[in-house]
Amino acid sequence: MTNEQPRTVAIIPARGGSKGVPRKNLRTVGGVPLVVRAVRAAAAAFAVDLVVVTTDDAEIADAAAAAGACIVRRPAELAGDTASSESAVLHALDELEADGPTVGTVVFIQATSPFIPSGGIDEAIDHIRADRFDSVFSAHETYGFLWRRAADEHAAAINHDAAHRPRRQDREPHYLETGAFYAFTASGFRAAGHRFFGRIGIVEVPERTAIEIDDEQQLAVASALADVVEQGDEPIPAAAIVTDFDGVHTDDTAFVDADGHEFVRVSRSDGMGVSRLRRAGIPMLILSTETNTVVGARGRKLGVPVAQAIDDKASALAAWAADEGIDLADIAYLGNDVNDLGAMGLVGWPVAVADARPEVRAAARVVLTRRGGDGAVRELIERVLVAAPPAAETGPAV
């Protein structure tokens, strides 16, 4: 990009002093801090040139930078309870344009929305670049009957005639602002000093993405809904896969003969998935606390390296990633039990099998539909392969 080309910049205000939910921007939904979720959603939008987090907090800055954001340090006078989001966005614009190309389009993103659709961000940018609107916002369609309390405490209808109850198909929909994102021209924003100006447009997003977190109860609801809202066959753009063994490659049961030898059940479907992963050139590691020789035997059969008898999975994972030259943010870790939580907390894609412990499901960014030993590894691999660039498949099948 040359200095003459105006950039499209996503700006995420994330101050450290939240009161309703202390340290809100670092609280997790689906195992990922809210500020990191916002950065990833913005970065996944094709039309965004630069993702910026403006913050007064060092811990938030570190988390956002690790997720790939550029950091603008927000002065204390713009980080108090009375400071507006607009003031933070304007300050970030000034800082960016002082050292770089002009900003043409701004996407103002709120980290308090955990389920921001990247496609909606791209649609918003397209509206601004095509000069259809000067500012746009995310909203979802609603046919709700709205009321207010009048001065005498009686209920008064707002968007309908209380004496007339038309069918849903006979009503005009209204649109409820989600608060997730706004897009506008930088020049128009500077002139208006506000996110709404000129020709205002709506980007319609799914209602299931519309939750906004302002208190602990909403955070709990978002956490409970994460694996439902984000479930499906969406690609997982991981550069490597690391898995636990028991409860992931197996159904977490074992058969023991009279001599004390253990046998486990594994999925042939998982074996085919691993074969495809190897042919695509995507690294994989089995990381297990188990000492049983069956773990190594299965790894050799799959052609996958195994690290077993590992008490500290997080340290072992970090060391392997460093040796392989793979960013932890680009790794998918598949687990099922509490001893996987440390490793899951390090990676960009913490994933849980369908029958994982509740604590593991809560920490996961993705919860699979398959149970351990019943094709969960294959399910994860297929979603990673969908996101991977094409590669020649060579080598023997397993």
Residue 257 has pLDDT above 60, yes or no: yes
Domain count across the chain:
2
Q: Per residue in 264-312, pLDDT tens?
A: 888 888 998 999 899 999 999 999 988 888 899 999 999 999 999 999 9
Report, as an integer, the average pLDDT of 357-363: 86
Task: Give 140's strand partners.
Answer: 176
Return d(Cα 286, Cα 282) in angstroms, integer: 14
Residue 392 has pLDDT above 50, yes or no: no
- Domain carrying residue 14: 7-145+172-229
What is the pLDDT, as a whole number, of residue 265? 86
13-17, 83-87, 340-344, 394-398: range with lowest mean pLDDT: 394-398
Residue 109 has pLDDT above 60, yes or no: yes
Residue 14 has pLDDT above 50, yes or no: yes
What is the pLDDT, as a whole number, of residue 233? 58
Q: Is residue 156 part of a domain?
A: no
pLDDT > 90 in the chain, percent: 59
Q: Is residue 234 part of a domain?
A: no
What is the pLDDT, as a whole number, of residue 397? 35
Is there a single domain that holds both residue 195 and residue 245? no
Is there a single domain that holds both residue 176 and residue 124? yes
Quick check: helix, strand or coil at residue 118? helix
Task: Give 349's strand partners.
Answer: 332
Is there a single domain that holds both residue 214 and residue 277? no
Residue 82 has pLDDT above 90, yes or no: no
Q: Per residue in 229-243, pLDDT tens?
A: 766 557 889 999 999
Report, as an integer, the average pLDDT of 151-175: 88
44-53, 131-140, 359-368: which is most confident: 131-140
Q: Is residue 397 part of a domain?
A: no
Report, as an integer, the average pLDDT of 8-14: 96
What is the pLDDT, as a whole number, of residue 264? 85
Report the CATH number that the domain containing residue 369 is assigned in CATH: 3.40.50.1000
What is the pLDDT, as a whole number, of residue 395? 40
pLDDT > 70 in the chain, percent: 95
**CB-based burial of residue 22 (10 Å sphere; 0-12 exposed, 13-18 middle, 19+ buried)?**
exposed
Report, as an integer, the average pLDDT of 69-73: 95
Q: Is residue 205 part of a domain?
A: yes
Report, as an integer, the average pLDDT of 159-163: 89
Q: Which of residues 216 and 168 earns the better pLDDT score?
A: 216
What is the pLDDT, as a whole number, of residue 390? 59
What is the pLDDT, as a whole number, of residue 230? 67
Q: Is residue 383 part of a domain?
A: yes
Q: Is residue 398 part of a domain?
A: no
Q: Is residue 55 part of a domain?
A: yes
DSSP string of 237-300, one letter each residue: --SEEEE-STTTTB-S--EE-TT--EE--B-HHHHHHHHHHHHTT--EEEE-S---HHHHHHHH
Is there a single domain that holds both residue 257 and residue 220? no
- Residue 363 has phi, psi (to 5 degrees) of -85, -10
Taking alpha carbons only, the member of 83, 180, 88, 85 closest to residue 136 is: 180
Report, as an integer, the average pLDDT of 45-61: 93
Is there a single domain that holds both residue 269 and residue 221? no
What is the pLDDT, as a whole number, of residue 2? 46
Residue 191 has pLDDT above 80, yes or no: yes
Res. 394 pLDDT band, cuts 50 70 90? very low
Which residues touch 165 (CB under 8 Å, ≥6 apart)?
none
Task: Give 200's strand partners.
Answer: 135
Residue 80 has pLDDT above 50, yes or no: yes
Domain boundary among 182, 207, 229: 229
Is there a single domain that holds both residue 217 and residue 111? yes
Instruction: Please report, for residues 42, 181, 182, 391, the alpha-carbon distance to residue 200 in angstroms, rounded to integers and kept in the order given.
Output: 21, 14, 10, 44
Q: Is residue 395 part of a domain?
A: no
Report, as an integer, the average pLDDT of 328-345: 95
Which residues touch 3 (CB under 8 Å, ≥6 apart)?
100, 101
Is there a single domain that holds both residue 262 and residue 347? yes
Is there a single domain that holds both residue 38 and residue 109? yes
- Tokens at residue 244, please? 């636990």
Res. 391 pLDDT band, cuts 50 70 90? low
What is the pLDDT, as a whole number, of residue 292? 82
Task: Give 286's strand partners.
Answer: 243, 306
Residue 192 has pLDDT above 50, yes or no: yes
Report the CATH number that the domain containing residue 34 is assigned in CATH: 3.90.550.10
Domain boundary among 229, 248, 272: 229
Is there a single domain that holds both residue 207 and residue 340? no
Mean pLDDT of the chain, nearest integer: 89
Is there a single domain that holds both residue 375 and residue 297? yes
Res. 166 pLDDT band, cuts 50 70 90? confident
Is there a single domain that holds both residue 52 and residue 198? yes
Residue 393 has pLDDT above 50, yes or no: no
What is the pLDDT, as a whole number, of residue 288? 92
Quick check: helix, strand or coil at residue 148? strand
For 295, what's the count of Cα atoms within 13 Å in the CB-facing half-sphere?
Answer: 21
Q: Which of residues 80 and 198 earns the better pLDDT score?
A: 198
Is there a single domain that holds both residue 294 and residue 324? yes
Domain boundary among 203, 229, 255: 229
